[in-house]
Structure 1
Amino acid sequence: MARASFPIGSVRVRAGRSQKVELPMTRTVTGAETNLPVRVVHGREDGPVVWVSAAVHGDEVVGIEVVRRVLRGLDPKEFRGTLIAVPIVNVFGFMTGDRYLPDRRDLNRSFPGSPRGSLAARVAHLFMTEVVTPCEVGIDLHTAAHRRSNLPQVRADLDDPLTRRLARAFGAPVMLHAQLRDGSLRQAAREHGAKVLLYEGGEAMRFDEWAIAPAVAGVHRVLGELGMTAPGEDGPPVADSVELRSSGWVRARRSGIVQMECELGQEVTRGDRLGGLWDSFGRALAAVKADRDGVVIGRTEMPLVNAGDALVHIGTP
């Protein structure tokens, strides 16, 4: 018997097809309707239902390119299971190059949302209802915040056996055991029973190829690990990810101009020099030093800093 079609929004996607779907979100102040763009790859054979999403923060564009490349490499006639791809979740923020929505709310602190709440709550509710609810696994793609960069990494509950297996299959340089945050997509999806990998890599508003390529390969590996693609389609094996169990930021002791002397992925020990703070005439103000042993998984790209600003993110085993 042919596999049943997949319902989403007001349409049903037939088995063996890839179809774009527009999910109505709201009307703008001008009266124009704004939709959530989704593509469903509904394979001919049974298998898991998985979502991959990007741009929950509107300025995090790396994941948009990752989704595009992943979809380009999938044949729905040979695919097993169903993939729901959402390249731009925060459509409003993306259109203005802004991390947040017009109501200044962080969408990733607004889940599971509400059909009658704020704009952020309504977008979150729509995403939960139409995308997360039918899925067993999700991959949410992010970059660092404005004027920061992140080493390619997977953040997940590594104490859950299946999540850990999928994180290892993804093959990012680092996998970090990360606690759930209230209102996050990962927390809300977890409460629905989905296993979620959160990918971080690159900078906001930039197509960093060094962050895009590992994510494309990682998504394909996860699909292969779940049996949704044929062996070999998920790319060559990779070295084991470095497992980190916690992380923390080294912060500026003084206000000034920072010169960073560390690189993403660099292994550091407590007391290592990571950079220096200077005044506008070049007078040394303070050294930036590692406060723990670990791996540099993120850093500021902004040279002007105030006392207390986050400078270097270090993950520890």
Structure 2
Amino acid sequence: MSEPDVLRILGKNVGLGQSAKVSFNVAKLHTQNTIDVPVIIERSKKPGPVVLITAGIHGDEVNGVEIVRQIISKGLNKPKRGTIICIPVINVFGFIHLNREFPDGRDLNRVFPGTSAGSLASRVANKLVNEILPHADLVLDFHTGGANRFNAAQIRIIKDDPYLDELANVFGAPFVLYSKNLSKSFRKTCFKSGIPILLFEGGKSSYIDNSITNTAVNGTKRVLHHLNMLGRNFKVSQPKKPCIHLLDSKWIRAKYSGMFKATISINSEVTKGDILGSITDPYGSFNHFVKAPNNGYIFNINESPIIYQGDAIFHISTKVKP
């Protein structure tokens, strides 16, 4: 895509070398108070790629919001060429109450590309897809695990896309997880639009983890440096270890209800039969050890102290790219 001299976004013209903060408004609160979703645009005088950086599609995923906040506060979003568009909180309605969904009960990440006459979530998706996404050459979208499940820092991409493989390796998260694009998700819509997207997962909902945040911010710096967009004042660190590419995985589910405690750490490589945690009862009469069903890496752990039979408690890789 050839970057225009003047970028018209949400009714505002932004020229090369200019900065702008525009509002992404779709609806008011029931009290008639307006809700502004800030869209922060930074353009270099030198043309180049347009990178869209988003978070908060789910309102309770505050770690993603913190990542984009740091990208802005550190000035990483001021490119030496091209344009960077940041939307730190897309679902500001949910963010106010730390709810995953919109007030209409819908999951924004299951209604894309949306419609202009649909539900509230559908209208937000539609406006994002039609008025902002077409400008982007690359999307970096930040998420966390949900329901007390802590995700290892990971990039999720589809298989057999050399450019996404390249960018995922540049980002340098501990894991690259190959997964299908879910129907009606933002990632699926980007794919259909021909716009490459790196989806970052790390941490859990309603929680900010410094290690996860640092991994994501450093990964963003590497990608921007790779695109020759990172400002000259920033240093780029190399990942401590090469990315591990997870080709397939499965959830380990609780065989019993009870009090749960993981004894293995996130990111750990385990061997079949290793003890990962235990399920007990409040009365000290029952203790069940959860064991690894196969060799692999643990990249998600349920941190809820109380679980029920069938709950997902560990995500383990079953096949790793050589």
Deviates further, 52-61 or 232-241: 232-241
Distance in 1 of aligned mates of 2:185 and 2:113: 8
Counterpart residue identity of residue 126, structure 1: K
Instruction: Give CA-to-partner distance per residue, 1:101-154, whole Å, 9 cap, x none.
Output: 111111111111111111111111111112212112101101110312111111
Asked whether the equivalents of residues 156 and 198 of structure 2 are also in contact (C-alpha less than 8 Å), the reply is yes
Instruction: Give CA-to-partner distance per residue, 1:159-181, whole Å, 9 cap, x none.
Output: 20111111001011111111111
Aligned residue in 2 for 1:180 = 181
Counterpart residue identity of residue 222, structure 1: V
Shift of 1:77: 7.2
Asked whether the equivalents of residues 5 and 13 of structure 1 are also in contact (C-alpha less than 8 Å), the reply is yes
Asked whether the equivalents of residues 77 and 84 of structure 2 are also in contact (C-alpha less than 8 Å), the reply is no
Segments of structure 2 that go 5 or more residues without pairing to the other structure are: none
Describe how 1:23-102 pairs up with structure 2 within 5 A: 23-74=24-75, 79-102=80-103
Say which SS state the counterpart of residue 6 (structure 1) adopts: strand
Shift of 1:240: 1.6
Deviates further, 26-35 or 219-228: 26-35
Describe how 1:108-187 pairs up with structure 2 within 5 A: 108-187=109-188
1:244 aligns with 2:212: no
Say which SS state the counterpart of residue 258 (structure 1) adopts: strand
Shift of 1:73: 3.4
Say which SS state the counterpart of residue 102 (structure 1) adopts: coil
Distance in 1 of aligned mates of 2:285 and 2:69: 48
Q: TM-score, normalised by structure 2?
A: 0.93
Q: Between Structure 1 and Structure 2, how many residues are aligned?
A: 316
Aligned residue in 1 for 2:300 = 298
Aligned residue in 1 for 2:207 = 206
Counterpart residue identity of residue 17, structure 2: G
Identity of aligned residues (%): 36
Distance in 1 of aligned mates of 2:79 and 2:122: 37
Distance in 2 of aligned mates of 1:67 and 1:255: 38
Counterpart residue identity of residue 269, structure 1: T
Say which SS state the counterpart of residue 151 (structure 1) adopts: strand
Cα gap change, 1:40/1:224 in structure 2, threshold over 3 Å: closer, same or farther?
A: same
Asked whether the equivalents of residues 279 and 285 of structure 1 are also in contact (C-alpha less than 8 Å), the reply is yes
Instruction: Give CA-to-partner distance per residue, 1:194-229, whole Å, 9 cap, x none.
Output: 111110111211221011001011111111112222
Asked whether the equivalents of residues 3 and 44 of structure 1 are also in contact (C-alpha less than 8 Å), the reply is no
Distance in 1 of aligned mates of 2:99 and 2:300: 21
Deviates further, 271-280 or 65-74: 65-74
Instruction: Give CA-to-partner distance per residue, 1:63-119, whole Å, 9 cap, x none.
Output: 212112212333777621111100001010001111111111111111111111111
Distance in 1 of aligned mates of 2:299 and 2:310: 19
Distance in 2 of aligned mates of 1:125 and 1:200: 24
Counterpart residue identity of residue 238, structure 2: P
Segments of structure 1 that go 5 or more residues without pairing to the other structure are: none
Cα gap change, 1:198/1:75 in structure 2, threshold over 3 Å: closer, same or farther?
A: closer
Asked whether the equivalents of residues 78 and 231 of structure 2 are also in contact (C-alpha less than 8 Å), the reply is no
Q: TM-score, normalised by structure 1?
A: 0.95
Distance in 1 of aligned mates of 2:76 and 2:143: 25
Shift of 1:58: 0.3
Distance in 2 of aligned mates of 1:292 and 1:8: 50
Q: How much is the aligned-residue C-alpha RMSD, in angstroms?
A: 1.8
Say which SS state the counterpart of residue 127 (structure 1) adopts: helix
Say which SS state the counterpart of residue 33 (structure 1) adopts: coil
Asked whether the equivalents of residues 6 and 42 of structure 1 are also in contact (C-alpha less than 8 Å), the reply is no
Cα gap change, 1:190/1:14 in structure 2, threshold over 3 Å: closer, same or farther?
A: same
Counterpart residue identity of residue 312, structure 2: A
Distance in 2 of aligned mates of 1:229 and 1:254: 50
Cα gap change, 1:27/1:71 in structure 2, threshold over 3 Å: closer, same or farther?
A: same
Shift of 1:34: 2.4
Counterpart residue identity of residue 274, structure 1: L
Distance in 1 of aligned mates of 2:235 and 2:158: 23
Asked whether the equivalents of residues 59 and 96 of structure 2 are also in contact (C-alpha less than 8 Å), the reply is yes
Distance in 1 of aligned mates of 2:134 and 2:235: 26
Counterpart residue identity of residue 101, structure 1: F
Distance in 2 of aligned mates of 1:180 and 1:76: 27
Asked whether the equivalents of residues 43 and 79 of structure 2 are also in contact (C-alpha less than 8 Å), the reply is no
1:287 aligns with 2:296: no
